[in-house]
Amino acid sequence: MRASATAAGLVLATVAVILMVGCPARPPSAETPPASEDEFAPATPDDPDAEEPKIEPLAVAGALEGEGLRVVAKTGGDTLAADMADWEGAWSRDQQLWWFDAEAGDTLTLSFDVPSGGRYEVVAKLSEAPDYGRFTLAIDDREPSEAVDLHAETVQLAEDVPLGRMWLEPGEHRLLIAAIGPHEGGPTPFGLGLDYVLLR
């Protein structure tokens, strides 16, 4: 009787071991818990609050920006840095120096710095507009350019105005702009737009 009980106990123990080995633990759930919203996540293109990427305006390499030149003297009219971003064209840095309310005989003197001495081909990039007139430009005490008529039916960039090939010492130099008169049949007073001066 005792032997039978011992045998039955051994059988029950063996069955229990088999059941434990043959029944692996339940695998973790394969479902991924929902991601929590991150208020610091980068904005997506569909986000109505996303800021538009900032586009830097075109800048002509090496240009002496007209709006950055120092006004040394003027005998008439006034000047300001004019925003040109809304006009059709490619003004350097989307700005120009605007000289307005000028009359025949007025002059505007600007200064600029030359970092190193050398022989340069100097050109000026000007604008044209319906209320612009005729002007000459000169570097320091050199001969002025031919008169340029800056009248046009629309606001636009003009062709390069050559100011000559010259030796420039390092340091400060002057650009003298002289108002010759209005465009034939154009308004008085009149204006001029200077985008930049380029030394090349």
pLDDT tens string 36-61:
555 545 455 566 666 666 667 789 99
Name the DSSP class of 22: H
For residues 136-150, give the mean pLDDT. Answer: 97
- Structural domain boundaries in the chain: 63-199
Q: What pLDDT digit, counting tens, does each position of 63-96 carry? A: 999 999 999 999 999 999 999 999 877 999 999 9
pTM, whole model, 2 decimals? Answer: 0.73
Name the DSSP class of 44: P
Q: How far is CA 75 from CA 5, 104, 148, in A?
A: 127, 11, 20
pLDDT given at position 33: 52
CATH number (2.60.120.260, 3.40.50.300, 2.40.110.10, 2.60.40.10) of 63-199 reads 2.60.120.260
Q: Can you read off the two tokens belonging to residue 88?
A: 């059709």
For residues 113-139, give the mean pLDDT. Answer: 97
Distance CA 121, CA 198 (A): 8
